[in-house]
Structure 1
Amino acid sequence: GYEITIVDASNERQVIDIIPRGLELLVSEGESIKLDQPLTSNPNVGGFGQGDAEIVLQDPLRVQGLLFFLGSVVLAQIFWFLKRNSLRRFNYPK
């Protein structure tokens, strides 16, 4: 892969961006780049100024709702199985 060091000219801050192997770079060494300029030909990888901010995967209430729903489905299946087996015992005389 590539390790690109970007130096901000205004405050001398350095940003290191690691580009995976196999991607075509659109910038060359010593070239000036602009904010949000793509560094690779793949628009999903690389780009100066892409902040790695907080990533929110799901709303906690949605996750809790999903867990509640899945738990209720499991309980319903267990009770249905128990009811079915208890009815079998009483319907078949020995």
Structure 2
Amino acid sequence: ILTDLGVRETLGNHHFVGSGLLTSWDRLDGGIRPRPDTEWVAGQGVAADGSYGTAYDTARAKVTALLDAGQLPPLAPYYTPATAPGYLPGILGRH
């Protein structure tokens, strides 16, 4: 991730602070290649332990079961007129 223009949120590269991947053209031209920090990578959900191939199996199984059922289950809203009588009308009125 290039840092020649700085590290700023507006550039989007701020997310990579601590990743070991921030570098500049000068460093790349000098033969220095960034190496990812394994702890940072694992913390980003990249599955550094090699489990990436199965990381989404549970979600896939749930989606498949929903699709195979032929129709989706009824909605079960978190907020209802009974559970949030003071909150729900206001939020619905604003949206």
Q: Report the TM-score when normalising by structure 2.
A: 0.26
Q: Which has the higher strand share?
A: 1
Structure that is richer in helix per residue: 2
Q: Tell which structure's C-alpha radius of gyration is larger.
A: 1
